[in-house]
Chains A and B, each alone.
Chain A
Amino acid sequence: MIEREEEQATEACEIEALRARVRELENLTKESGKDAKILWSIAEATPAAGAGFFPALAKSLANTLNVRYAFVTECLDQPVTQVRALAFWMGDRFVDNREWTVQETPCENVFLGKNCFHPKNLRRLFPDHPALEAMGAESYCALALRDHTGEAVGHLGILHDQEMALDHSQEPALRIFAARAASEIIRMRSEDATRESLNTLRTIIDGATEVIYLQDLEGVYRLINKAGAASLGRTPDEVVGKSDEDLFGSEAESLRVENETVITTEKPLVGEQTVTLGGSPHVFRTTKSPHRDADGRVVGVIGICRDVTESLAAEEKLRNAERLASVGTLAAGIAHEINNPLSAILFSADTALHVKDTPGHEELLEKSLENISRAAERAGRIVKSVLTFAGQQESPRERADLHAIARRACDLTRHVAETRGINIDLDGGDEMPVRANPLEIEQAFVNIINNAIEASNDDGTIAVELEKNAQSARVRVRDYGCGLTEEQKSRIFDPFYTTRPGMGGTGLGLSITHGIITLHGGSIEIVSEDGGTAVIVELPLEEAAPC
């Protein structure tokens, strides 16, 4: 309705402008009252826009200029070779809106900007032309209709069965008719373009698999696409005019809060909502943005969302599968780690059984039993560390000296280091009281130092430095080995990640270490240093540690 009113208003303006132009022309042609009448008739004859406009214009043109035939066309191509009549007045009737090729007709020159006024002898100038013949056309005059860029959009012309004499008032009349016709063609075309772009937009919105909608400030749906309505088991018409509350009942509250946030902050919001549809919960991932009018005022909310229920379920499945795969890798690692102490137990037990009654083998018997005990202890430690890794749960804490723990870790790893001529230097001798599980922290440092040994060259050095400040203790284990790439550094704490695949590492050592340190409220970081790597562990000192 509003559009129609606007159209009429524009129409009125145009008519007013025409009247003004007519008045101007009237002044120019004061000497002839007859001319003025003609000009008035132009303005009065063509007030209507739409379907009847061009016939009315053509007929009025013929009558005004006292000729038999008049027509208006639109161009069908560029440069113009083909035109289609929007109206063709035959003096007593209209003919069907025909199309014709302008080549070798009087119309050709119109678009070439050449002479297009033939006052007589038309058929002699354009012989063998059945249409001209049929009309008995003797004279012709036409004008190109152009848009603001100068491109031809059509042409307007008159034909007569007698000689044509255009006087000083008739030519401007023709021009006014032409201007009027051109503006109508341009308006028509822009309307078509608008309609086409609206259609395109509609096609996109309805073709989208995402839910797209507009809500006003009160949360009432003003638009929703087919996919959106379908996800609610409805048609768009059934949704438009309803609010979230109408559609989702009590679940609408969180949606309302989101809309309010978007409207007040005037910023987009990404969120996930769960609503019950058809009895089962559906998760939607939505981007809501402010909907602004032409003046930039927020008048509602634009929502684009996707039902992610299924993809979330698929992700969960994948995570479970990955977890299972991890468990498999973990199991393989555990099996390998346990194999060594288990073999030691088997051999030592057989040894003990074999020599227990043989005199002179007391020392071997005792050593074997000791070995069994040590191996069983180690197997127990492995199981514990796996539990630490798997459960990552807090273990009992006690007051412990980090310095003493670090020293023990150095002693435990020294024999491995020495087989390769690697020296472990411990530096910094103060007591560092921390609240910790000393066995776990020891394990963490053993893991770090073992890694440093693996990274070191034979006969190298590993520096273990301790220092403390008011709040925390810091242990830095530095090697002078092959160093780590950025990629290795970023993955070094991942479970099962190893820089030496297939070389016997389980890839669990540093991830267990990371778990232990983090659970103790500390931090661990890997720093690349000139020719090597430093692992820096920080733990809160007991005085500062939370109880």
Chain B
Amino acid sequence: MLKVLVVDDDPLVRDALDGFLSAFGFETESAASSAEALRTAGTFEPDAAVVDWMLGESTYGSHVAETLRSQLPDLAVIFVSGYHADGMSVEIGKLKRARFLSKPFKPITLAKTIESLVSEKR
């Protein structure tokens, strides 16, 4: 069973993603902030993380991903955002095993993206 860490500061989105992924056979944990994500990742050791691009008003998803990868170098990361911006794609282009999904997207797309990114790693 693949382990996925959901990092989103919006409780609605966090709960929805968490519920969806667990319904579709992933083992999940969730975190509301970068710090919480780091704490959880230490014990949970996820295969993938679904990270909100804009965490609070001042933390970029790329920062969260870098922090997590300092512990888990093979972590697959899927960023989600409500904004369309070219800048983000460029940032994400630099990161390996990372994808960017722009809201709204089909839930099943997320599940497939996680699976394909994790299998890429292996």
Distance between A483 CB and nearest chain B CB, rounded to angstroms: 16
Is B42 close to A, CB under 8 A? Answer: no
Is B33 close to A, CB under 8 A? Answer: yes
Q: Do A419 and B9 touch across chains, with their CB atoms under 8 A apart?
A: yes
Q: Do B19 and A503 touch across chains, with their CB atoms under 8 A apart?
A: no
Which of B54-62, B67-75, B91-99, B112-120 lies at the binding interface? B54-62
Q: A344-B16, A420-B56 are in contact. Are A354 and B23 (CB under 8 A)?
A: yes
CB 8 Å contact bits of A349-367 with B (1 = contact, 0 = none)? 0110011000001001001
Q: Which residue of A348, A355, A454 is within 8 Å of B16 (Cβ)?
A: A348
Interface residues of B in 1-43 (CB under 8 A from A): 9-13, 15-17, 19-20, 22-24, 32-33, 35-36
Distance between B54 CB and nearest chain A CB, rounded to angstroms: 4
Q: How large is the interface on A (under 10, 10 to 19, 20 to 34, 35 or more residues)?
A: 20 to 34
Q: In the assembly, what is the distance between CA of A335 and CA of B103, in Å?
A: 10
Q: In the assembly, what is the distance between CA of A337 and CA of B13, in Å?
A: 12
Q: In the assembly, what is the distance between CA of A346 and CA of B16, in Å?
A: 8
Q: Which residue of B11, B16, B36, B54 is within 8 Å of A351 (Cβ)?
A: B16
Q: How large is the interface on B (under 10, 10 to 19, 20 to 34, 35 or more residues)?
A: 20 to 34
Q: In the assembly, what is the distance between CA of A422 and CA of B87, in Å?
A: 31
Most buried by B among A342, A364, A419, A503: A419
Q: Do A347 and B9 touch across chains, with their CB atoms under 8 A apart?
A: no
| Complex interface: chain B residues within 8 A of A135 (CB) | none
Q: In the assembly, what is the distance between CA of A367 and CA of B30, in Å?
A: 15
Q: Do B23 and A351 touch across chains, with their CB atoms under 8 A apart?
A: yes
Q: In the assembly, what is the distance between CA of A346 and CA of B111, in Å?
A: 13
Q: A344-B16, A361-B23, A420-B33 are in contact. Are A339 and B56 (CB under 8 A)?
A: no
| Complex interface: chain A residues within 8 A of B83 (CB) | 336, 504
Interface residues of A in 223-274 (CB under 8 A from B): none
Distance between A504 CB and nearest chain B CB, rounded to angstroms: 4
Q: In the assembly, what is the distance between CA of A419 and CA of B22, in Å?
A: 23
Distance between A419 CB and nearest chain B CB, rounded to angstroms: 4
Q: Do A350 and B108 touch across chains, with their CB atoms under 8 A apart?
A: yes
Is A378 close to B, CB under 8 A? Answer: yes
Q: Do B103 and A340 touch across chains, with their CB atoms under 8 A apart?
A: yes
Which of A84-92, A99-107, A152-160, A368-376 lies at the binding interface? A368-376
Q: A342-B103, A505-B57 are in contact. Are A375 and B19 (CB under 8 A)?
A: no
Q: Which residue of B12, B20, B57 is within 8 Å of A340 (Cβ)?
A: B12
Q: Do A347 and B54 touch across chains, with their CB atoms under 8 A apart?
A: no
| Complex interface: chain A residues within 8 A of B19 (CB) | 347-348, 351, 364, 367-368, 371
Q: Do A374 and B12 touch across chains, with their CB atoms under 8 A apart?
A: yes
Q: Which residue on chain A has the smallest CB distance to residue B111?
A: A350
CB 8 Å contact bits of B74-100 with A (1 = contact, 0 = none)? 000000101100000000000000000
Interface residues of A in 321-345 (CB under 8 A from B): 335-337, 339-345
Q: Do A504 and B57 touch across chains, with their CB atoms under 8 A apart?
A: yes
Q: Which residue on chain B has the smallest CB distance to residue A454?
A: B57
Q: Do A340 and B82 touch across chains, with their CB atoms under 8 A apart?
A: yes
Distance between B27 CB and nearest chain A CB, rounded to angstroms: 14
Q: Which residue of A344, A500, A503 is within 8 Å of B13 (Cβ)?
A: A344
| Complex interface: chain B residues within 8 A of A341 (CB) | 12
| Complex interface: chain B residues within 8 A of A378 (CB) | 12
Q: Do A371 and B57 touch across chains, with their CB atoms under 8 A apart?
A: no
Q: Which residue of B11, B16, B36, B103 is within 8 Å of A368 (Cβ)?
A: B16
Q: Do B17 and A347 touch across chains, with their CB atoms under 8 A apart?
A: yes
Q: In the assembly, what is the distance between CA of A368 and CA of B24, in Å?
A: 13
| Complex interface: chain A residues within 8 A of B16 (CB) | 343-348, 351, 368, 371, 375
- 17 additional A-B residue pairs with CB within 8 Å, beyond A350-B108, A354-B23, A419-B56: A336-B83, A342-B103, A343-B13, A343-B80, A343-B82, A346-B16, A347-B20, A347-B107, A351-B24, A351-B107, A354-B20, A354-B24, A364-B19, A364-B22, A371-B16, A419-B33, A454-B56
Q: Would you list the 10 A-B pairs with minimal beta carbon distance, nearest first? A: A339-B82, A347-B16, A504-B54, A344-B16, A344-B12, A347-B20, A350-B107, A339-B103, A419-B33, A336-B82
Report B's interface with A, CB cutoff 8 A.
Answer: 9-13, 15-17, 19-20, 22-24, 32-33, 35-36, 54, 56-58, 80, 82-83, 103-108, 110
Report A's interface with B, CB cutoff 8 A.
Answer: 335-337, 339-348, 350-351, 354-355, 361, 364, 367-368, 371, 374-375, 378, 415-416, 419-420, 454, 500, 503-505
28 A-B interface contacts by CB (under 8 A)? A339-B104, A340-B103, A342-B103, A342-B104, A343-B13, A343-B82, A343-B105, A344-B16, A346-B104, A347-B13, A347-B16, A350-B107, A351-B16, A355-B23, A364-B22, A367-B19, A368-B23, A371-B15, A415-B11, A415-B32, A416-B9, A416-B56, A419-B9, A419-B36, A454-B56, A500-B57, A500-B58, A503-B57
